[in-house]
Structure 1
């Protein structure tokens, strides 16, 4: 809950503060041009990475598979492009970091470790739940009871 507070309230305020300070230092027109250039660069990065990569990652995660490194690489390129697209200089710096190859490789290793750990926990939970149902006599599929009959409305 605290993270969402920071993400949606504090981060935009800090972005706005930095934007105003930069605008006061270099001028409003130069700041506007930098923000517009960042937006164009962000759109180009997202097109380069392609939203299809993000959809493939989501699809493979839904199937319980760990996405391969190429898909994670494309996803990080899309995230970096999205951050650059957002107006503000802090998000631009974070987005540019996502575009650097060595940072992407480090993030891919961290995300892959997290996904492997998460998938192992999920498999362990599934194994425990199926063992529990087998030992306690519960069936895997639930049977439905259908009572057939006829009815007639008498209120008319």
Structure 2
């Protein structure tokens, strides 16, 4: 189902953009519409570059502190997606791109996307691990702590120099 929705969005977006641009041409004229499309793309490129640098600095700072960069990583991905939308000609993609790029609107998009992603992850885990089966049952022995692994025998290696070779 999500693939079908994505396909419809990809197919309908150019049609909707053409309709909106045609409406703008009817209201303000062709040259002003072209100027507005070019101006929004230029403004979007500038905002994306600025916010991309900021997101990169915050991501690097989280790495230096040794903190998992959860929010920083999602912000970087949203800035990248928003930048791509801002570079596409059209007013609807520019509006969506600005929602993803601007720092005060990004949390409004991040929260529902994070909730959607965690819900999808829980659904995938439910399909991958049958009822009564846990993820730990599939954890390799090498990644478990030694006291959890039944195959680990604590001991000492002693080399016997008198043994025949």
Is the pair's TM-score, using the shorter chain for normalization, greater than 0.5? yes
1:36-115 superposed matches below 5 A: 36-50=38-52, 68-115=70-117
TM-align CA RMSD: 3.4
Q: Deviations over 1:80-117 (max 9, x none)?
A: 22222211111112222223444311322223333444
**Of Structure 1 and Structure 2, which has the larger fraction of its residues in helix?**
1
Q: Which runs of 5+ in 1 are unaligned?
A: 57-65, 135-156
Residue 74 and residue 117 in structure 1: after superposition, are their counterparts in 2 closer, same or farther (change >3 A)? same
Residue 105 and residue 129 in structure 1: after superposition, are their counterparts in 2 closer, same or farther (change >3 A)? closer
Task: State how many pairs are aligned.
Answer: 123
Contact kept in structure 2, 1:22 and 1:31, CA below 8 Å: yes
Q: Could you tell me how far 1:119 is from its partner in structure 2?
A: 4.5
Is residue 2:13 matched to residue 1:11? yes
Residues in 2 aligned to 1:71 and 1:130: alpha-carbon distance in whole angstroms: 27
Contact kept in structure 1, 2:85 and 2:93, CA below 8 Å: yes
SS at match of 1:111: helix
Q: TM-score, normalised by structure 1?
A: 0.60
